[in-house]
Amino acid sequence: MPELPEVEVVRAGLEPAVVGSRIEAVTVADDRALTRHPGTADDFAAELTGRAVSAAVRRGKFLWLPLEDSATAMVGHLGMSGQMLLRPSGAPAERHERIRFDIRHPHHGDLALVFADQRTFGSLAIDDLLSTPDGAPGGRGSERPVVPSQVAHIARDPLDAAFDDSAFRLVLGRSKSAVKRVLLDQTVVSGIGNIYADESLWAARVHPETVAGSLATRTVARVLTEVRAVLDKALAEGGTSFDAQYVNVNGQAGYFAHSLNAYGRTGQPCPRCGTPIVRVSFTNRSSHYCPRCQRRR
């Protein structure tokens, strides 16, 4: 599933092409891509046609395109395999294409914005924008203190300038859950996901099943530092791609998979101490860690 770095790469790629553009036409090829939209496919297309896009914004794993002179936005979640692709106007349909937007930009001319999704778990919708409780910008890509109602329950991510380190430490200090479970709780901190949780905990030398509330304050600070370092590095390398399902807006894969130290390296030597990396079941996923560097205390 695309996580914060992958979704941010998509947002940044969309920004110069869609901000200031006008949506000339909307073609819904598969209304399963509108499961989050409260209306019909015809309503979705009619409400967007002729509207201008004022920004490209992200919080956690959610993207949204605010509509100019409106208190609404088109909000999207990529699910497991969703892609937002920029193509020349009139380009042939993409494999697994679900929705196409024909847009006209004042400088770039006519373009096609395509939402493709192999597994159909991703979705787009038109949603109302609500004021943020703290008055800070809703997400990366806009200074407006608003967020779609579907995203309002999602916490800020660690790279957000308005992220509250003290509040995060307080939540961990009170929690009886495993630290990895807290890192994956989108109402506490957003955008980390399974891959980057494993990588951050490996870097911080913390076992994923360690009770969050048992961590010393300095250890919590170290975990947060490593989370940010891992996310920053993944962003610089275009995200993590294990297959063709995650690509940027131009269809190119990220290469952070080559920098992984724990995730997906079962049985391979730990880059730090040489002990084989262990994989264990974790809810419906897996955790990867070094049993020597990340001893459970």
Domain boundaries, the chain: 4-151, 165-289
Domain 165-289 listed as CATH 1.20.1250.20: no
List the end-to-end C-alpha distance of the chain, in Å, as a whole number: 31
Consult the annotation and say whether 119 binds a ligand: yes
Alpha carbon 146 to its chain's center: 18
φ and ψ at residue 8, rounded to 5 degrees? -70, -35
- Contacts by 88-95 with C-beta closer than 8 Å and gap 24+? 88/112, 93/29
Measured CA distances, 119 to 91, 150, 246, 283, 285 (Å) = 22, 21, 12, 21, 18
Q: Is it true that 4-151 and 165-289 share their CATH fold? A: no
Tokens at 85, concatenated: 């692709």
pLDDT along the chain (297 residues), means of 10: 82 94 98 95 97 96 94 93 91 94 95 93 96 97 97 95 95 95 95 91 97 96 96 77 45 55 94 96 89 92
- Based on its alpha-carbon atoms, the radius of gyration of the chain, rounded to whole angstroms, reads 20
Query: Residue 124: CA atoms inside 13 Å, Cβ hemisphere, count?
Result: 30
Q: Is the pTM above the cut of 0.85?
A: yes
CA nearest neighbour of 120 among 201, 203, 34: 34
* Cα-based angle 106, 15, 238 (whole degrees, multiple of 5): 140
Query: Left if phi > 0, otherwise alpha if psi is -120 to 50, otherwise beta: which for 284?
Result: alpha
The two tokens of residue 245 are 């399902």
* Residues designated as active site: 2-3, 61, 285
- Domain 4-151 of CATH type 3.30.70.2740: no
Q: How far is CA 85 from CA 95, 99, 210, in A?
A: 11, 11, 40
